[in-house]
Amino acid sequence: MCRCTVRVGDGVTGSDVAARRLGAVQNPDGGFGPRAGAPSEPEPTALAAIALDDPAARAWLEANQRDDGSYGVVDGYVRDEVATGLAALALDPGSARERALDRLEVLEGAPADPNEAIPLDVGLLGWPWTRDTFGWVEPTARAVLALRLLRPGSPRVAGGVALLRDRRAVGGGWNYGNREVLGQELPPFAQTTAVAMLALHGLDDELESEGASALRRLWREEHTGTISVALSLVVFRMREEQDEVRAARAALQPLIEDGDPLGDTVAEAWAVIALGEHVPFREAP
């Protein structure tokens, strides 16, 4: 990603810096790659469309939607659809958004076999990362977020919340998919916990409160990660936790000024979303 010389100060905000840097890596086709110069992909394009309110990015999404309504990357046998929920949130109301939501309604994880080493409710399918895999926390949370905001009456929402309840870590928060393996408790992470919190807002007060308590600790432990801090700031803004908002915003500012050495478009987009004028993901776009 480009290394912009603009700095915070003299009327320039952290959001300005991140937005200018993000906009500078937009591809000629209107989409965004995972880093500067990389071919456009659905996830960074969807997040950039949300962050920048960019019509060219939305046009790329409409032009690159699969026939079944999904979005994702195909690499040989591996086919993912995890950008579908983000794309639905980025698209304007219309047929492309409805096709994406239709796909979320029918997409399910593969059933898992009962396994004493990994205790979980195998009846909860959720949404997968890739085809023929069982439901994981972040893909399920993304799908529930899109349906919560755009199709709140969907019967799939309750099942997604149930999976998140089943997979939460001991003491609250979430990791990628399991709370325990071979008798060992697995720790939660800020990024996955924050994504789950975005999905759960207003759906399960007890589970959301437990997750928020964990996130207040986790983001500080991961304070050098732009995505972790930005996602946490989005959650705290959505929940109107003003003390956490101030602390997370202060932690995000130097990360934005320094820039991501890996040139991560997704991280940059989340930073712009976190610092934007409007509180995201509280109401339907």
Q: Write the secondary structure of 84-147 as one string of H (helix), E (strand) and C (coil).
A: HHHHHHHCCCCHHHHHHHHHHHHCCCCCCCCCCCCCCCCCCCCCCCECCCCCCHHHHHHHHHHH
Non-local (6+) Cβ contacts of 269 within 8 A are: 22, 32, 44, 47, 48, 50, 51
Mean per-residue pLDDT, 27-41: 97
Report which of residues 273 and 258 the model is more confident about.
273
Burial environment of residue 90 by CB neighbours within 10 A (0 to 12, 13 to 18, 19 or more): buried
Between CA 98 and CA 107, with CA 103 as vertex, the angle to 5 degrees is 155
Q: Are 215 and 169 in contact (CB under 8 A)?
A: no
Domains (range + CATH), the chain: 14-275 (1.50.10.20)
- pTM above the 0.85 mark? yes
Could you tell me the end-to-end alpha-carbon distance of the chain, in angstroms, rounded to an integer? 28
Task: Report the range of poorest mean pLDDT among 7-11, 31-35, 112-116, 181-185.
Answer: 7-11
Q: Write the secondary structure of 150-218 as one string of H (helix), E (strand) and C (coil).
A: HCCCCCHHHHHHHHHHHHCCCCCCECCCCCEECCEECCCEHHHHHHHHHHHCCCCHHHHHHHHHHHHHH
Q: What pLDDT does 227 receive? A: 96
pLDDT tens digit sequence for 90-119: 999 999 999 999 999 999 999 888 877 778
Report which of residues 213 and 130 the model is more confident about.
213
**Residue in the structure block whose two tokens are 């600790």:** 217
Q: Are 141 and 199 in contact (CB under 8 A)?
A: yes
Look at residue 2 and tell me whether its pLDDT is greater than 90: no
Q: How confident is the model at residue 182 (pLDDT cuts 50, 70, 90)?
A: confident
